[in-house]
Structure 1
Amino acid sequence: MTAVSTPGTRGQTRGGDRGQVQRRRRDGRGGDRAVGASSQVVLAVWAVVVIAPLLWTVMSSFKTTQEIFASPFALPTELRFENYVNAWTLAGIGSYFVNSVVVVAGSLVLTMALGAMSAYVLARFPFPGRGVVRTLIVAGLTFPIFLAVVPLFFILQQAGLLNTLPGLVAAYTAYAYPFTVFFLTSFFEELPKEISEAASIDGASEWRTFFQVMLPMARPGLSAVAILNFVGLWNQFLLPVVLNTDQDDYVLTQGMASFASQAGYSVDFGALFAGAVTTIVPVLVVYLVFQRRLQGSVVAGSIK
């Protein structure tokens, strides 16, 4: 016998389907809320883990050594700005800071210029051996830096650049070059080829097309790579320790280590924390500035 559905049965079926759909939506919203809440908890914990040591360092930079040992987590009784003066002058942090700015700025400019041009060629121009070159660049990313310091030492020694700031700039550039090319190559490949073709039709040369058309379009990628390179080069310690043993040319990482080790048990911890804050602040400032430019470039590109 064939079952015949009545109008009431059809209504009950439709009502049951609607109920199931609503229950699924409620379950989905509940799962989204649970994921969002757990994500916020994890982010809050991570923010505390990152921000708490930074705040403690800043707070300790205004204390004396006795106050730090007596009550490490208490607020300073008064703001001792002389710790920063002592760190900048007596400990030599000022000269080390200038050396770091010169080395990092020079190497960053060279790295971004050479890396952007190399990435553009690899992304836009087919030539024999392009795959081999890209493979070698990726291999450069996997090569441990401590295995390269000995060859770099002898290369700079033969070139007369050992224990000099230009030699350190060259070493920093070679260190950051593979990552820059690898990152920007993928970015240039995603840019529309029609724009470069239109520029060539209008009579623009390859150099003009690159510098005036394609490079401004790659500003978000350049900003991101600049942030990562700056942080990595500013905090670099192994390369300057091996390749720059002249104390007059020390960078900040070397100067902080030398200041902490030479004083022994009589180290001025207030000045030491002040030097640490001096080392951290430029990284935060550069990151915030470039982050705003990165966000502005992305928004402008999406609107266009």
Structure 2
Amino acid sequence: MSTDTRAAVTIDRRSASNKDIRTPKDSGGDKWVGGVSHVILAIWSIVVILPMLWTLIGSFKTTKEIFASPFGLPADWSFDNYVNAWVKNNFGQMFLNTVIVVGVALVLVMILGAMCAYVLARFSLPGSRVIYYLMLAGLTFPIFLAIVPLFFILQGMGLLNTLPGLIITYVAFALPFTVFFLFSFFKSLPYEIQEAAYVDGASEWRTFFQVMLPMAKPGMAAIAIMNFLGLWNQFLLPISLNTNQDNYVLSQGMASFASAAGYQVDFGAMFAAVIITIVPVLIVYILFQRQLQGSVSQGTSK
């Protein structure tokens, strides 16, 4: 037997032995737990998917068809309900208002939250721990308790019932969670890279934006998705601080549409409005779910 053949046989034996050693053996209890978990997840998926599927099918039906055959397919797959919801019920303007408010608030809260978390995590400043704990305290403060003070504050600033006032409020309530989430990411980054940037002559601003912030990209992506979902579905703040119908966001429009119609609700148009509201959220989550999973796994590994 040649030397190459002996080496190949040795490698094959080692790989086979390593495979036998590393292959986990599932016990009966593990299989039972895995089977029960899959059954629970399947039931949960059905509970979540079926109402959404029923709403999607109902958005192509008329109100008579919905009551006559709630679970049947529509006779005509028409987009009339979407046109009625978008044009007649002014959901187009409300959609634009929502994009403006959520988009601007998301950009501001990500920039301010990242800068605040970076300073609190990387620098020892007088009162930094107090500021951090105050941020944590903001997570425990119920929103409904701040409605009355916010009302008078925005009224005094001349921002009540305006989109800028709603943007400022969104940023204020999303900032504590953003700082709390990003604090651990910036804290875990190696100090050697920051010191190397200083040695190369980088300023504090350049070090943050060009060195440290890109390294925290997984955490930034995760918190951006979470903030987007929370701000897009926000209901209590806009319904209390934004009573001007020209500045309505989608969550207000849904409630106003259902209550104003009384017993003459156009359920087909309402289901179409629901689909218009949730589709952007689904698209954002589908596009960025890999970043969310990567950031969670990276955070747990550290």
Please point out which of 55, 64, 67 is paired with 2:65: 67
Superposition map of 1:10-89 within 5 A: 29-89=27-87
TM-score, L = length of structure 1: 0.87
Deviations 1:24-79 (A, max 9, x none): x9995222212211111111111111111111110110000001111111111221
Deviation (angstroms), 1:296: 6.8
Deviations 1:115-158 (A, max 9, x none): 00000000000111111111111110000000011111111111
Please point out which of 198, 215, 233 is paired with 2:196: 198
Return the alpha-carbon distance in structure 2 between the equivalents of residues 76 and 251 of structure 1: 30
Please point out which of 239, 243, 246 is paired with 1:245: 243
Return the alpha-carbon distance in structure 2 between the equivalents of residues 31 and 237 of structure 1: 45
Return the alpha-carbon distance in structure 2 between the equivalents of residues 105 and 222 of structure 1: 15
TM-score, L = length of structure 2: 0.88
* Corresponding residue of 2:256: 258
Give the counterpart letter for 2:150 in structure 1: L
Please point out which of 263, 266, 269 is paired with 2:267: 269
1:210 aligns with 2:211: no
* Corresponding residue of 1:126: 124
Deviation (angstroms), 1:292: 3.2
Give the counterpart letter for 1:240 in structure 2: P
Contact persistence 1:196–1:214 (CA under 8 A): yes
Deviation (angstroms), 1:294: 4.3
Contact persistence 1:219–1:294 (CA under 8 A): no
C-alpha spacing 1:186/1:231, structure 2 compared with 1 (3 Å): same
Give the counterpart letter for 1:84 in structure 2: Y
Deviation (angstroms), 1:297: 7.5
Deviation (angstroms), 1:300: 11
Please point out which of 267, 274, 279 is paired with 1:281: 279
Provide the secondary structure at the position in 2 that maps to 1:236: coil
Contact persistence 1:153–1:243 (CA under 8 A): yes
Deviation (angstroms), 1:295: 5.3
Return the alpha-carbon distance in structure 1 between the equivalents of residues 155 and 288 of structure 2: 36
Give the counterpart letter for 1:117 in structure 2: M
